[in-house]
Structure 1
Amino acid sequence: MSELYIDSPLAGVAEPQGLSISIREIPDRGMIDLRGLTSDPAFMAAAKGALGVDVPTRPRTSASWGDVRVLWLSTDQWLILSSRARAHELLTSLRDALNGIHSLVVDVSDMRAIIRLEGDGCREVIMKGTSLDLLDKEYVQGCCRRMRYAEIAALLDVVEDNVFDIYVFRSYAHYTWNFLCATAKAPAKLKLFGAQEVPA
């Protein structure tokens, strides 16, 4: 009997060398797409009961409870993150809790690739592929938002000050990986000076 085999989008890629920051794939993340109406108290209560935390209602924010993280995607959509091993349990809990309530719960763990950037200079590397100003005070731990990155749709998640996760659709995983490896090379490192004092 054949066994279920799960392969990550970037399985087998060579470890990048000569970069100014660390780049690696996060291969074992479970992801659930949740949709519902924040104006419906029954939906909000049921989602919290299943997840252990209120789904965020403020744009570009996230919420966490233990190993479960909830990213705001739009006014009626969230991405639920957990370990892949726990994704089925969460999916079942959400579907049971939301039974009879206008909502949608789908396991999308294989839909996206997640690439993590770590180290001083991550913001500068990411800004080579997007028009976002990541030096803005908005981009702190917990911030998440959709963006255009290297001309494709992506999701940015600020995990910590110098730790960022970029989510892209699986078919763009290698393209994004190669773009990051090229723009993060040590000789291409940028130093942003920011505001300067006017000499006396």
Structure 2
Amino acid sequence: MSELSHQTPLAGVEAPAGLAVSLREVTGQGMIDLRGLAADAAFMAGARTALGFELPVRPRTTATAGGVTALWLSVDQWLILCPRTNTADILARLGAALTGVHALAVDVSDMRAVIRMEGGGAREILMKGTSLDLLSAGIVPGFCKRMRFAEIAALLHVVDDNVFDIYVFRSYARYAWDFLCATAKDQARVRLFGPQPAPV
């Protein structure tokens, strides 16, 4: 009998030369869709027991501890990120801690592709595909937001000052990758609202 094998949406795809930033697929990422009511003390306590930290309750924020991160998606939804090898264990802990509580926890690790863009000018490149103002003061490490990117649904997570993870549904992975490769070409670089060189 043949063995099951996992293949990421962008397996074998490499970024072309001549990009203004670094671009790669994030592999080995486990994802759990967690739903419940933030106003339910039993749900929040159970999630804290299973994850080891409080779920973020402020819009567009994240919380991290022990290699696990929770991204706030809505008033009753969080995306739990962890190493893929730990997904089953964390899912089991959530199930045990939330027994009898109105909640849902589902492994969605294969639902999305994760593309990481890193480097100076990444914000300007991303803004070629979204109306979100990534130059505003509130877009700091830890920020996350669902957005329309290149006309598709996406999720943005600011990992660090110049490090951005873009989550897209698996079926759109190659489209999003090609869009980023095209808009990130060094000759297409733009510098918004910054000092401009004096004319010669």
Structure 1 CA distance, aligned partners of 2:42 and 2:194? 48
Is 1:9–1:173's contact at 8 Å kept on the other side of the alignment?
yes
Which letter does structure 2 place at the counterpart of 1:118?
E
Structure 2 CA distance, aligned partners of 1:143 and 1:23? 20
Q: Which residue of 1 aligns with 2:54?
A: 54
Which letter does structure 1 place at the counterpart of 2:89?
E
Q: Which residue of 1 aligns with 2:85?
A: 85
Misfit runs of 4+, over 3 Å: none
Structure 2 CA distance, aligned partners of 1:82 and 1:16? 29
Q: Which residue of 2 aligns with 1:66?
A: 66
Which letter does structure 2 place at the counterpart of 1:24?
R
Is 2:34–2:78's contact at 8 Å kept on the other side of the alignment?
yes
Structure 2 CA distance, aligned partners of 1:195 and 1:153? 33
Is 1:16–1:23's contact at 8 Å kept on the other side of the alignment?
no
The number of residues matched between the two structures is 196
Cα deviation for residue 3 of structure 1 reads 1.7
Unaligned ranges ≥5, structure 2: none
Is 2:14–2:24's contact at 8 Å kept on the other side of the alignment?
no
Structure 2 CA distance, aligned partners of 1:3 and 1:52? 34
Name the Cα RMSD after superposition: 1.2
Is residue 149 of structure 2 the alignment partner of residue 157 of structure 1? no
Cα deviation for residue 195 of structure 1 reads 8.7
Is residue 147 of structure 2 the alignment partner of residue 147 of structure 1? yes
Is residue 3 of structure 2 the alignment partner of residue 3 of structure 1? yes
Structure 2 CA distance, aligned partners of 1:104 and 1:146? 20
Q: Deviations over 1:174-199 (max 9, x none)?
A: 00000000000000000112599xxx
Structure 1 CA distance, aligned partners of 2:179 and 2:92? 37
Unaligned ranges ≥5, structure 1: none
Structural mapping, 1:1-200, within 5 Å: 1-194=1-194
Is 2:15–2:181's contact at 8 Å kept on the other side of the alignment?
no
Is 1:115–1:166's contact at 8 Å kept on the other side of the alignment?
yes
Which letter does structure 2 place at the counterpart of 1:99?
T
Cα deviation for residue 27 of structure 1 reads 1.4
TM-score by length of 2: 0.96
Q: Which moved more, 1:186-195 or 1:101-110?
A: 186-195
Cα deviation for residue 17 of structure 1 reads 1.2
% of aligned pairs identical? 63
Instruction: From the superposition, tell whether residues 32 and 2 of structure 1 become closer, same or farther in structure 2 (CA, over 3 Å).
Output: same
